[in-house]
Every structure is written in C-alpha cells, then in structure tokens.
Structure 1
Amino acid sequence: MAAVEIESVECVSLSDGIEDEEEIQSSSHPHNNHHSSSKPHSVAPAGIGPTSVHELLECPVCTNSMYPPIHQCHNGHTLCSTCKTRVHNRCPTCRQELGDIRCLALEKVAESLNLPCKYLSLGCSEIFPYYSKLKHEAVCNFRPYNCPYAGSECAVTGDIPYLVAHLRDDHKVDMHTGCTFNHRYVKSNPREVENATWMLTVFNCFGQYFCLHFEAFQLGMAPVYMAFLRFMGDENDARNYSYSLEVGANGRKLIWEGTPRSIRDSHRKVRDSHDGLVIQRNMALFFSGGERKELKLRVTGRIWKEQQNPDAGVCIPNLSS
C-alpha cells in the first residue's frame, strides 16, 4: 500500500484576483444547484394546456419525456420504447398486452412543441424543438458534472461549488490555494502495483479549481507512474490554462507541459491516453536513489493562465504575478 506524503505545498498565486475559497463554496449551498428536478414548461400549440401536453409526453414508468417510437396499448395508455421492454410488453396502467401499436398522434403533437433545456434551473436558457432537446442536453454546458474522485465509483453529480465541498467533506481531499505545488510520493515496494495508487489534491487558482492526480498502474508487464491535472469545468475554459510538472534527482529530470483536461473527460480516459507526465519504473527508481527498495518521487508544478492576444488571435502565457 502506497503512502502519500505532502512534504510541502507552496501556495503562491500568480494572479492578484483569486477569489476567496470560502466565499466560492458558501455562494452555492450544496443543495441549491444539485440534482435539480424542476420540470420545464412546454411551449405548446394554441388551445392545448402546456402542463397537460407535458404530462401526455411523460412516460409513466421512467417519467422521462417520450421520443419515437411512442407505444400504446389497446386502451390508449402510452409509454416509451425503452420501458416497453422493461415491463415485458405489458401495459403498466391496465396490464393489457402492448403489442406493436405506435401512438402516431402523440408523436405529431411532440413535433409541434418547443421546450426549454432541462437544465434551465442551472442556467441554460436555450429553447429547442422537442426532438432536438435530447441531443442538446447530452452536451449542454450547464449539465451537472460527475465527481472527479478516482478512488471509488462515486456517483455524485453537481455543479462545481457543490463538488468542491463534496471532495473536501466526503472524500477528505486536500485543498490548497495557489498555483504552485510540491508533492512527495513514497512507496515501500515499487514492484507491487496490483491496483492503481492515486493521489488527488484540489487547487484553487485564478478563481478556478484544478485536480492533481498521481498514479501507479500496470502498463504491459511493468508499472509506470503518471501525474496529470484536470480542470473543474468545461473543455473550452480548460484551454485558457496551462501547467507544468517536473520530477527528477541525481542530475536528471523530466518535465511535462500541457493543457489540463476537463473533468468532463473521465479520470480513466485521461490516464489511458497518457496525457500527462509519465515516468517509467527504471527512471523512477533512478530518481529514488537507485536502491530499488523504496520509491521516492518529488513532483513539483505550477499552473498559469493563457492571455488572449486579440491581434494575433493566439494565446500567449500570462506569467505576471
């Protein structure tokens, strides 16, 4: 079992405008923007009540909006195609056999509707034709984020302030303010890598949050070690930042520079893409002193913000303190 020690964390900001971490967390109570279940009001054809139309298009089994094919039983009760299989072809309302009857009239009604995104309460003000809404919601920037904690199958979702509080309170993750860091990773037996060993620290930098991961995992027949950074936000915003990681000793060092990946990308996806500082075992042991009895790696790094150059249309590093 690996032991992770934070020998020193130097929290030196490269920006004067860092928000106070407590203010960010208190500005959104964990339950304010989390798991919003408020249903949007449909924009319905004239003469039809919005609420009744929305209720007609709601599957009685899963309560989600129904999309073609919409099925009905001989008595006119409807349900979505996914739930038709789940109820073993029996109507959940009257228990009659469903058969293969399509409710074409209800599908036509759905075509005439414009509905707001289901993440309206989280800030999305877009309105879409009924059949375009589902496609948008799958990529909506206001949809909740998955918990970035990599040590367990955590199913918690929410906005960034909620997840920051969740990582701190429920997963006991180390929280630091600043844009530079200095971590020390120690493992007693570097040849044993049965399970991924990871470290997660959250940094508040430039008013944003970043997750630092450090792992040992098996690649082929040999273990490798990897450090990488993820941005707690969407990919477009992640491109505004860059980071560097450095590890070394005995007159040698490895340096990685890159753009943090958004937490929209799963932890496993980032790890398997090797988008970070990757250290082969022999090099890691060399950095540790070459004794092959204990692994000791010091990972240092910093985060900086890219400044947009409006004339050239490119980003230039903003290294001002």
Structure 2
Amino acid sequence: MGSDSIECVSSIDGMDEEDTARTQSSKPHGGAAPPAGIAPSTSVHELLECPVCANSMYPPIHQCQNGHTLCSTCKTRVQNRCPTCRQELGDIRCLALEKVAESLELPCKYYSHGCPEVFPYYSKLKHESQCNYRPYNCPYAGSECSVVGDIPFLVTHLRDDHKVDMHTGCTFNHRYVKSNPREVENATWMLTVFNCFGQSFCLHFEAFQLGMAPVYMAFLRFMGDENDARNFSYSLEVGANGRKLTWEGTPRSIRDSHRKVRDSHDGLIIQRNMALFFSGCERKELKLRVTGRIWKEQQNSDAAVCMPNLCS
C-alpha cells in the first residue's frame, strides 16, 4: 500500500466550518441517572454481581462452602477456587439467589445512554445484545480497533486517532492511484467520513480477490442503526473512455462490520480489467476516480431534502 495514493475532493452543501467543528467535537453521553422508580435495590443488585467480572450473574450461580458466589463463566477462570476465601468451589448451586433473580425486573444496562426499557431478569440479556442504545464498535477498516462509544465520540476518535479525513457535503470525488496495476493485494481503506443531513457516513474502498478474479469495491456505511440507515440512499460511479459503472443502494449500518458488507458484495464492484480500461490504453498505472452522492429519501412533497438531481 506504500505506493498507493488516495485523494478526496468533496463539495460543500451549505454548512460552514463552524458547523463542522461543532459536529466533530461532540462528546459521548455522560452517565445519566437511572429512570426514577425502576432502579433495583442496591443490596439485591450487589448480591447478583459477580465478584470477578462484575457482571450480573445468571444461572447456574455457583457458591463455595462459605456461601460466596460467582458466575459460571468465572468459575473456570479461578481454577475452581473461591476468589473471596480461596476455598474449593465444587459444584454447589446457589438456588436461593437464582430464585431471587427470577423475581426481579431491572432496567437495561444502557439506561445511561437513553434506553427506557425494563425487563424481567432473564429477558435482560437478550435485549441488551440487540439494544439500539448499546455502544457502537469503531468502524475503522484495516485494523482491529477495540474502541467503542456513541457516534459523536467515534467521529472524533476516527479524526484524531485514525487520521480519517472529514468532509461536509452530500457529494464526493475520490481518486485512487496504484503504480503497479497488475498487483491486487487484500487491502482496505476508510477514505472519508462525511457529515451530511446532520448524520455521519463512512466511505470505504477495498481491493481483494473475488474467487480468482482481482476486484476493487467501494461502499458506504451509515454511522447509526439500520432503521435510520434506511432513510438514506447513495450512488457511486466510476468510468472513463465513454464507459461507466454505477451503483445505487442504501448505506449499511456500522452495526455490520466492513468485512460483512464486503463479503455480501453490497457496493460498487469493479473488475481489474475494467479498472485498467478506465485508466487508459497504456495500463502502466491504475487510476480510478470514484464519484458519488448521498440523499435523504423524501417523506413528503414538502420535505426540504437534497435529492440526487439537486446535488452538485
């Protein structure tokens, strides 16, 4: 990738630098107080907290001969020794505590992020695995980044830590240049994060083998949940010499990893031979210019949105 270069020129759609700065400097949600009247008793909640991982315990709940408890996952981590008194754990179940758990209703653990839901103890895990308020994983492609957070936090993280370009506007223009067009190694790039309609979108470009054929692929991801992503559409276009390829679709949520999107082929796919044709007859250097635009699906005739034929 050292010999590859990427340029981006994005048009501006009515937002000045001050607006952009405000968007990029947003901070993650603070720890809001739990909803009134639904927070569990502190003493009961502490009883159900595993002393090793600090997560809520679910059956089977284990205990030692002295009555100290821990979750089944952590039982193997402590080599069958009680982390409190160091006695051997054996296979004793704390049935009384399991009964207490059955009687509780608890708020979602993401209540501080805005989730108002309350669930019976045993339904909570399933909800939390799918909760729309749960933090997002960092969407950066090309590295295993473990950072999680809300969208404003991740936008700042991408800008400051991954040095991803930030642009405002619903149209974009990227140029990809590769000095040796005969080589297509597996490579991923997150080219840009766009601020458009008060939302953030990630543009990706990948080179990989599709079967035996080397291909390039460009696609867009929405920084938010799938239901909100459906409110937007985007188009991509690449071409030269009187030919062009176009793609139009709905951006995928960053809940789906960039690898999952790539493997589903949900984007603009360019075969290498076509890419070389777009680069010119000499084929000494690969040059691809990918242009695109984002628009909001119009809900009614009075909605003031940036439709494709109005973006420039």
Q: Give the alignment's TM-score, normalised by structure 2.
A: 0.91
Instruction: Name which of 217, 220, 223 aligns with 2:208.
Output: 217
Q: Secondary structure at the match of 1:108?
A: helix
- Pairs within 5 Å for 1:123-134: 123-134=114-125
Q: Which amino acid aligns with 1:29?
A: K
CA distance in structure 2 between the partners assigned to 1:198 and 1:121 by the alignment: 33
TM-fit CA distance, 1:299: 0.2
Moved more, 93-102 or 200-209: 93-102
Q: Cα RMSD over matched residues?
A: 2.5
TM-fit CA distance, 1:91: 1.1
- The answer to whether the 8 Å contact 1:117/1:126 transfers is yes
TM-fit CA distance, 1:246: 0.2
Q: Which amino acid aligns with 1:285?
A: L
Is the aligned partner of 1:161 residue 2:152? yes
TM-fit CA distance, 1:87: 1.0
Q: Which amino acid aligns with 1:73?
A: C
Q: Which amino acid aligns with 2:299?
A: Q
CA distance in structure 2 between the partners assigned to 1:53 and 1:260 by the alignment: 44
Q: Which amino acid aligns with 2:13?
A: V
Alpha-carbon distance change, 123 to 39 in structure 1, aligned in 2, over 3 angstroms? closer
CA distance in structure 2 between the partners assigned to 1:75 and 1:132 by the alignment: 30
Question: What is the percent sequence identity of the aligned residues?
Answer: 81
CA distance in structure 2 between the partners assigned to 1:98 and 1:297 by the alignment: 63
Q: Secondary structure at the match of 1:189?
A: coil
Q: Which amino acid aligns with 1:6?
A: E
Q: Which amino acid aligns with 1:126?
A: E
- The answer to whether the 8 Å contact 1:183/1:299 transfers is yes
Q: Which amino acid aligns with 1:128?
A: F
Is the aligned partner of 1:67 residue 2:58? yes
Q: Secondary structure at the match of 1:101?
A: coil
Q: Please list every run of 5 or more consecutive structure 2 residues that lacks an aligned counterpart in the other structure.
A: none
Match of 2:27 in 1: 29
Match of 2:72 in 1: 81
TM-fit CA distance, 1:19: 9.7
Match of 2:269 in 1: 278
CA distance in structure 2 between the partners assigned to 1:251 and 1:262 by the alignment: 34
- The answer to whether the 8 Å contact 1:173/1:201 transfers is yes
Alpha-carbon distance change, 284 to 180 in structure 1, aligned in 2, over 3 angstroms? same
Q: Which amino acid aligns with 2:22?
A: E
Alpha-carbon distance change, 128 to 87 in structure 1, aligned in 2, over 3 angstroms? same
Alignment deviations for residues 34-69 of structure 1 (CA, whole Å, 9 cap, x no partner): xx698899755xxxxx11111100001101000011
Q: Give the alignment's TM-score, normalised by structure 1.
A: 0.88
Q: Which amino acid aligns with 2:6?
A: E
Match of 1:313 in 2: none
Moved more, 191-200 or 56-65: 191-200
Which runs of at least 4 in structure 1 moved beyond 4 Å after TM superposition? 16-19, 36-44, 316-321
Is the aligned partner of 1:97 residue 2:88? yes
Match of 1:47 in 2: none
The count of residues paired between Structure 1 and Structure 2 equals 305
TM-fit CA distance, 1:194: 3.0
- The answer to whether the 8 Å contact 2:50/2:71 transfers is yes
CA distance in structure 1 between the partners assigned to 2:244 and 2:179 by the alignment: 22
Is the aligned partner of 1:243 residue 2:234? yes
TM-fit CA distance, 1:317: 9.0
Q: Please list every run of 5 or more consecutive structure 1 residues that lacks an aligned counterpart in the other structure.
A: 45-49, 311-315
Moved more, 228-237 or 149-158: 149-158
Alpha-carbon distance change, 204 to 10 in structure 1, aligned in 2, over 3 angstroms? same
Alpha-carbon distance change, 42 to 65 in structure 1, aligned in 2, over 3 angstroms? farther
Q: Secondary structure at the match of 1:54?
A: helix
Q: Which amino acid aligns with 1:265?
A: D
Alignment deviations for residues 227-265 of structure 1 (CA, whole Å, 9 cap, x no partner): 000000000000000000000011110000000000000
- The answer to whether the 8 Å contact 1:191/1:223 transfers is no
Q: Which amino acid aligns with 2:5?
A: V
Q: Which amino acid aligns with 1:228?
A: F
Is the aligned partner of 1:297 residue 2:288? yes
Alignment deviations for residues 199-237 of structure 1 (CA, whole Å, 9 cap, x no partner): 420100011000001111122233210000000000000
TM-fit CA distance, 1:269: 0.4
Q: Which amino acid aligns with 2:131?
A: C
Q: Secondary structure at the match of 1:8?
A: strand
TM-fit CA distance, 1:17: 12
Is the aligned partner of 1:288 residue 2:287? no
Is the aligned partner of 1:151 residue 2:142? yes
- The answer to whether the 8 Å contact 2:184/2:208 transfers is yes
